[in-house]
Amino acid sequence: KCFIPSYIPAIGEPDAFLKMPRPDGMKDGLGMRVIDEPSATQSDAAVIELQLRASSKKKLVGEMIVRSIENAANSPIEVEGWIESMSATSVQTPAGSNIQEE
């Protein structure tokens, strides 16, 4: 019997659990460098990164994904979705969390 988890947040395209090796034989780093999770509704990479940064106990320095909405004036549903995801992220951020600097 196959094990298929009931819910997995995802970034990217739906996964059929079929992994084809790369022609050059190099590893993809799935699960370590690149999130590889199946779902029909994809998570927003910028929101996931903000959640990871908020829950980290260390100061994360470096580039960050910045999401933009093309033609935002004519896309109110996307703008509302972004506002909801940002407010959910701020609610999930622990109050008074300390950041350790190295």
Look at residue 69 in the predicted model and tell me its pLDDT: 83
Eight-state DSSP code of residue 30: B
Residues 55, 61 contacting (CB under 8 angstroms)? no
Structural contact between residues 81 and 40, judged by C-beta atoms closer than 8 angstroms: no
CA distance 94 to 102: 21
pLDDT for res 50: 80
**Is the distance from CB of 94 to CB of 53 less than 8 angstroms?**
no
pTM more than 0.85:
no
Total number of domains in the chain:
1
Q: What is the tens place of the pLDDT at every residue in 12-32?
A: 555 566 677 788 988 877 766
Residue 54 maps to a domain? yes
Task: Specify if 57 maps to a domain.
Answer: yes
Tell me the backbone φ, ψ of residue 54, rounded to 5 degrees: -70, -35
Six-digit token string for 15:
């996964």
Residue 83 belongs to domain spanning: 45-92
pLDDT at 101: 52
Do the domain assignments include residue 13? no
Q: Residue 52: inside a domain, yes or no?
A: yes
Question: Coil, helix or strand for 100?
Answer: strand
State pLDDT tens for residues 47-56.
878 877 777 7
